[in-house]
DNA sequence: TTGTAAGCGTTATCAT
DNA sequence: ATGATAACGCTTACAA
C-alpha cells in the first residue's frame, strides 16, 4: 500500500511537503499542492491513521461502552452520540457490555489500549478494579445514564424521580393501590434511584409499599418476564406492574400474554423508557420517556471538554410521563396518540 | 504513560524481553517472566495497540458498516457479529450509514484509514466510487444482507423468495386479492429481490399485481408511513399492506393507527423482518423472520477466511414465515404465541 | 516555501 | 535466554 514516501517521489517533493498538503498546515505553493494532490489520487493513497496516531498521540476517536446493544434506549443514545461526535470530527467506537462487568472491562481495556481520546461509559452494576484504576488514572472519562457510588466522575443522566412521582399519582387517581415495581440492579444508580423514587412516591400518595411487590431484574427482557411471573403468582397479585426499563417491560408483556391475561382488566403495565412500538401494543403502554437526544449531545460535549482539559458541568435532565392506556386510563384522556419519546429517529 | 521501556528498566531487562513476555513468544525464564509481570502491574502498564499495529501491520479489528442503527434487524446482527468476532479474538468497530451513501463512504474511508483487517459492509443503494475502489483494491471485504449489482464480492445474506411466496399463498388462502407491497430502494438487492419475489408469487397465486399497489420506501419508518398513506388514499385501497422491512411496517402501523383504522378488518398488515414486539401489537403481526444469528456467524467466518487469504463460500440462508393475526387469520390457527425471530437475544 | 531528520512505542532480526 | 537495534508510516522541529 502506497505511503507518503511514494506520493512524495511521484510528486517530486519531500515527505514533509506531502504531509503539509494533507494537513493543510503551513504554507505550500498552489502548484506543488496540486502536484501532490494529483499524486495522491493517482496512487489511491490512503493515509495510515495508525501511524499518524502514534506520532500525534491522538486518535480523534472516542469510546462508548453501552449497557446492551439490544436495548433501544442505548441504540438511540448511541445514534445521538455518533451524530454529535461526527459533527466535532470524532469517530465513535462502540462496545457492548451486555450488562456484564467482565465484558464491560474487556471493552474499557481494549479501547484504552487503542488509545481513544476519551471514554463514555454506562457502567454496569459493579465497580470493577479496572474502572477504579481508570478513574484514578485520570483518563478523560464521563459516565452516562448511570453513576457509580463513591466515584468522582462527571455524569450525564436523566432524573426520573419527578416523572415516577407523577406516574404513581396518576395510578392512585385511577384507583390503583397495589402497585409493583420491577427495578434494575440495586448496585446501579438507575436501579437504586428509581426504586427510591418509587417508594417515596408511594408513601407520598398514601399507598403501602409491600415488600413482595418490589422485584429486581437486570434490565434485560428475561428478568422482566421472570419477575412478572413471580408477581402474578402471588396470592394477591398487583393491579399494576411498573417495569424499570423497556426490556423488562417487554419481558413482562411476554409473560402476561403467555398467561392470556388482559391488560388492564387483569393487570396493568407501565414502563420506564418509552419506545416507538409502545403505541401499537394492545393497549398502548403508559411510559416514562427520557430525553435521549439531549443526553447524547450533552455527553459528547462534556467529554470533549474533559479531553481539552476544561472543567465540565455534569448534567441532570428530566424524564417525563407519557400517559396512554395500559393502566386503565379512560378512553378520552389525552396522550393516547403519538409517540412520547423525543428523538425517536422517526421524522 | 508507561511504556515497554519503563517496564524494562524496572524489571532490569531489555525491551525485547518485555515484549516476549507480553506476547508469550519464544522462551523466557520463569524468573524473568515473573519480574516483568510484576513491573507491568506495578506501573499499571497498558500496551499501546497503536504502536503495535504500526509494527505488525494488523489491528485484530474488523469494521462493520450497517444500514441503520435504529433498525433492530441491524442491531441484532451487530450483536451476533460482535459475539462471533470476539470469540476469534477480533474487535468490531461499528459504523452507522443511516442508509445514506455519503455516510457509508465516510465510515468505509475512516475504517480503512484505521487499517481494520477486514470490512463487513451492508451496502447502501448506490455503488459509490469509493466502494468500487475498495473492491478492486482487494481489501478483505464481505457484503452482508445485501449485494450490489455487477460487483464480485462474497456475500452473506438471506433469501426471502420462498417465504414471500408462502406469505402470498397464505394471504390468498385467507381470501385476500388486493395486496400491496412497500419495497425498499430498487437499487438495493434486498429492495429489488423482495419486489421480484412478491410479483412472481402474486402471479403464481393467480393474483393481479396492480402498479398502484407497488410502493417504494427507503427502509426507514417515515417512508413506510408515507407509503401507507398513499395506499390508503387510493380509491380502492389494498386489503393487506406488506411492508418490506420492520421499520416501514412500524411506519405503516403509525399511519393506520392515526387514521383509527382497524386491523385486520379495515386493512391487514404483514412485515418482512420479525421483531420481538410484533407479538404484542393488536393484533400480533404476521411476519417473515430472518436467521439473524446465523447470518452474523457466517459473515464473520467468511471475512476471517478472506483475511487469511483462503477462498470463501458465499452463503444464502432462508427466511421463514411466521403466521400471527394481522391479516385476518382465524383465531385457532397456530403461530399466535411465541416469537418467530431466532436469536431475539431473549433467553 | 521546501527539505532533512528525529522520534512516537512497539516487534522482530540478528547477535551474543 | 537475553540484548541491541532497525523498522513500521507518519508529523514536526529545525535548517536552508
Instruction: List, as ranges, residues 142-181 from A with C-beta within 8 Å of B.
Output: none
DSSP conformation class of B285: P
Q: Which nucleotide is nearest to A8 (CA to C1')?
A: C3
Instruction: Give tens-digit pLDDT for B70-92.
Output: 999 999 999 999 999 999 999 99
Q: Do A112 and B72 touch (CB under 8 A)?
A: no
Measure B147 CA to nearest chain A CA, in Å. 24
Instruction: List, as ranges, residues 181-210 from B with C-beta within 8 Å of A.
Output: none
Instruction: Give tens-digit pLDDT for B222-272.
Output: 999 999 999 999 999 999 999 999 999 999 999 999 999 999 999 999 999
**Does residue B88 lie within 7 Å of nucleic acid chain C, judged by its CB?**
no
Q: Which of B55, B54, B39, B28 is nearest to B4 (CA)?
A: B39
Instruction: List, as ranges, residues 51-70 from A with C-beta within 8 Å of B.
Output: 51, 53-54, 59, 69-70
Distance of CA B74 to the CA centre of its chain: 4
Partner A contacted by B46 (CB < 8 A): yes
Closest residue, by C-alpha, to the C1' of D2: B17
Which chain B residue is nearest to residue A45, measuring alpha carbons?
A: B113
Q: In chain A, what residues touch B70 (CB-CB under 8 Å)? A: 72, 75-76, 79, 345
**Mean pLDDT computed over every residue of chain B:** 93
Question: How does residue B126 score in pLDDT terms, banded at 50, 70 and 90?
Answer: confident
Q: In chain B, what residues touch A223 (CB-CB under 8 Å)? A: none
Closest residue, by C-alpha, to the C1' of C3: A14
Partner A contacted by B26 (CB < 8 A): no
**Does residue A58 lie within 7 Å of nucleic acid chain D, judged by its CB?**
no
Q: In chain A, what residues touch B75 (CB-CB under 8 Å)? A: 69-70, 75
Q: In chain A, what residues touch B47 (CB-CB under 8 Å)? A: 113
Instruction: Give tens-digit pLDDT for B134-169.
Output: 999 989 999 999 998 888 999 999 999 999 999 999
Highest-scoring range by mean pLDDT, A185-189, B177-181, B187-191: B177-181
Distance from residue B313's CA to nucleotide C11's C1', rounded to whole Å = 34
Question: How does residue B281 score in pLDDT terms, banded at 50, 70 and 90?
Answer: confident
Q: Which nucleotide is nearest to B20 (CA to C1')?
A: C11
Other CB atoms within a 10 A radius of the CB of residue B203 amount to 12
Closest residue, by C-alpha, to the C1' of C13: B16
Q: List the domains of chain B with CATH numbers.
A: 4-47 (1.10.260.40), 60-157+292-317 (3.40.50.2300), 159-290 (3.40.50.2300)
Rounded mean pLDDT, B286-295: 98
Strand order across the beta sheet in which A240-243 lies:
A214-216, A179-183, A240-243, A268-272, A286-289, A320-322
pLDDT above 50 for A347: no
User: Which helix (H) or strand (E) covers residue A180, if one does?
Assistant: strand A179-183
Measure A193 CA to nearest chain B CA, in Å. 26
Q: Do B276 and A47 touch (CB under 8 A)?
A: no
pLDDT at residue B58, rounded to an integer: 97
Q: Is A113 exposed, middle or buried (0-12, 13-18, 19+ CB in 10 A)?
A: middle
pLDDT above 80 for B216: yes
Question: How does residue A26 score in pLDDT terms, banded at 50, 70 and 90?
Answer: confident
Among B75, B83, B89, the strongest candidate for a mutation testing the A interface, having the largest count of A CBs within 10 A, is B75
Pairing relationship of beta strands A286-289 and A320-322 according to DSSP bridges = antiparallel
pLDDT above 60 for B346: no
Instruction: Give tens-digit pLDDT for B201-211.
Output: 999 999 999 99
Partner B contacted by A12 (CB < 8 A): no
Partner B contacted by A44 (CB < 8 A): yes
Question: How does residue A332 score in pLDDT terms, banded at 50, 70 and 90?
Answer: low
pLDDT above 80 for A336: no
Rounded mean pLDDT, A59-71: 96
Other CB atoms within a 10 A radius of the CB of residue B24 amount to 9
Please state whether the peptide bond connecting residue A283 to the residue before it is cis, i.e. omega within 30 degrees of 0. yes
Q: In chain A, what residues touch B343 (CB-CB under 8 Å)? A: none
Instruction: Give tens-digit pLDDT for A265-320.
Output: 999 999 999 999 999 888 999 999 999 999 999 999 999 999 999 989 889 999 99
**Distance separating alpha carbons of residues A248 and A273, to the nearest angstrom:** 10
pLDDT at residue A280, rounded to an integer: 84
**Does residue B1 lie within 7 Å of nucleic acid chain C, judged by its CB?**
yes
Partner B contacted by A78 (CB < 8 A): yes
**Rounded to the nearest 5°, which phi and psi values hold at B234?**
-60, 150
Q: Which nucleotide is nearest to B16 (CA to C1')?
A: D3
Q: In chain A, what residues touch B282 (CB-CB under 8 Å)? A: 280-283
Residues 6+ apart with CB under 8 A from B284: B278, B324, B325, B326, B336
Q: Assess contact for B78 and B64: CB atoms under 8 A.
A: yes
Residues 6+ apart with CB under 8 A from A230: A215
**Mean pLDDT computed over every residue of chain A:** 93
Q: Do A337 and B91 touch (CB under 8 A)?
A: no
pLDDT above 80 for B328: yes
Q: In chain A, what residues touch B86 (CB-CB under 8 Å)? A: 106
Instruction: Give tens-digit pLDDT for A75-92.
Output: 999 999 999 999 999 999
Q: Assess contact for A277 and A105: CB atoms under 8 A.
A: no
pLDDT at residue B332, rounded to an integer: 61
Which chain A residue is nearest to residue B254, measuring alpha carbons?
A: A280
pLDDT at residue A337, rounded to an integer: 45
pLDDT at residue A24, rounded to an integer: 86
Helix (H/G/I), strand (E/B), else coil: B298: helix
pLDDT at residue B149, rounded to an integer: 83
Category of A328 on φ-ψ map: left (φ > 0), alpha (ψ -120 to 50) or beta: left
Distance from residue A214's CA to nucleotide D5's C1', rounded to whole Å = 66
User: Residue A108 corresponds to which cell in the numbers above?
Assistant: 474499557
Q: Do A253 and B280 touch (CB under 8 A)?
A: yes
Among B41, B46, B255, the strongest candidate for a mutation testing the A interface, having the largest count of A CBs within 10 A, is B46
Long-range contacts of B124-130 (CB under 8 A, 24+ apart): B124/B67, B124/B97, B124/B99, B124/B100, B124/B188, B125/B99, B125/B101, B125/B185, B125/B187, B125/B188, B125/B191, B126/B101, B126/B187, B127/B151, B128/B101, B128/B104, B130/B105
Residues B146-184 as b or e (16 or more Cβ within 10 Å = b): bbbeebebbbbbbebbebbbbbbebbbebebebbbbbbb
Other CB atoms within a 10 A radius of the CB of residue B234 amount to 13
Residues 280-339 of B with CB under 7 A from strand C: none
Task: Let me know how long chain A is.
Answer: 347
Helix (H/G/I), strand (E/B), else coil: B77: helix
Q: Do A54 and B49 touch (CB under 8 A)?
A: no
pLDDT at residue A85, rounded to an integer: 97
Distance from residue B41's CA to nucleotide C14's C1', rounded to whole Å = 30
pLDDT at residue B12, rounded to an integer: 96
**Distance separating alpha carbons of residues A214 and A191, to the nearest angstrom:** 12
pLDDT above 50 for B336: no
Amino acid at each position: 500500500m502506497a505511503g507518503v514516501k511514494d506520493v512524495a517521489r511521484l510528486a517530486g517533493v519531500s515527505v514533509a511537503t506531502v504531509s503539509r498538503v494533507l494537513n493543510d498546515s503551513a504554507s505550500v505553493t498552489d502548484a506543488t499542492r496540486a502536484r501532490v494532490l494529483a499524486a495522491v489520487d493517482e496512487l489511491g493513497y490512503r493515509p495510515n491513521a495508525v501511524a499518524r496516531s502514534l506520532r500525534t498521540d491522538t486518535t480523534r476517536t472516542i469510546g462508548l461502552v453501552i449497557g446492551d446493544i439490544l436495548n433501544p434506549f442505548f441504540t438511540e443514545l448511541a445514534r445521538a452520540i455518533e451524530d454529535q461526535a461526527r459533527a466535532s470530527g470524532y469517530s465513535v467506537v462502540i462496545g457492548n457490555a451486555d450488562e456484564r462487568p467482565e465484558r464491560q472491562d474487556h471493552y474499557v481495556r481494549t479501547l484504552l489500549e487503542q488509545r481513544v481520546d476519551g471514554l463514555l461509559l454506562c457502567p454496569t452494576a459493579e465497580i470493577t478494579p479496572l474502572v477504579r484504576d481508570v478513574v484514578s488514572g485520570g483518563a478523560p472519562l464521563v459516565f452516562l445514564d448511570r453513576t457509580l457510588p463513591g466515584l468522582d466522575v462527571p455524569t450525564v443522566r436523566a432524573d426520573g424521580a419527578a416523572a415516577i412521582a407523577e406516574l404513581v399519582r396518576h395510578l392512585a387517581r385511577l384507583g390503583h393501590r397495589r402497585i409493583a415495581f420491577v427495578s434494575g440492579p440495586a448496585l446501579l444508580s438507575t436501579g437504586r434511584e428509581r426504586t427510591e423514587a418509587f417508594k417515596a412516591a408511594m408513601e407520598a400518595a398514601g399507598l403501602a409499599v409491600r415488600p413482595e411487590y418490589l422485584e429486581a431484574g437486570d434490565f434485560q427482557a428475561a428478568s422482566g418476564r421472570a419477575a412478572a411471573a413471580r408477581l402474578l403468582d402471588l396470592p394477591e397479585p398487583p393491579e399494576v406492574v411498573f417495569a424499570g426499563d423497556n426490556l423488562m417491560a417487554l419481558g413482562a408483556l411476554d409473560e402476561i400474554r403467555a398467561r392470556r391475561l388482559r391488560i388492564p382488566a387483569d393487570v396493568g403495565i407501565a414502563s420506564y423508557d418509552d419506545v416507538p412500538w409502545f403505541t401499537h401494543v394492545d393497549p398502548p403502554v403508559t411510559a416514562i420517556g427520557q430525553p435521549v437526544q439531549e443526553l447524547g449531545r450533552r455527553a459528547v460535549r462534556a467529554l470533549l471538554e474533559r479531553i481539552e482539559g476544561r472543567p465540565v458541568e455534569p448534567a441532570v435532565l428530566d424524564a417525563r410521563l407519557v400517559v396512554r392506556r395500559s393502566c386503565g386510563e379512560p378512553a378520552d384522556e389525552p396522550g393516547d396518540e403519538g409517540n412520547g419519546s423525543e428523538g425517536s429517529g422517526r421524522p
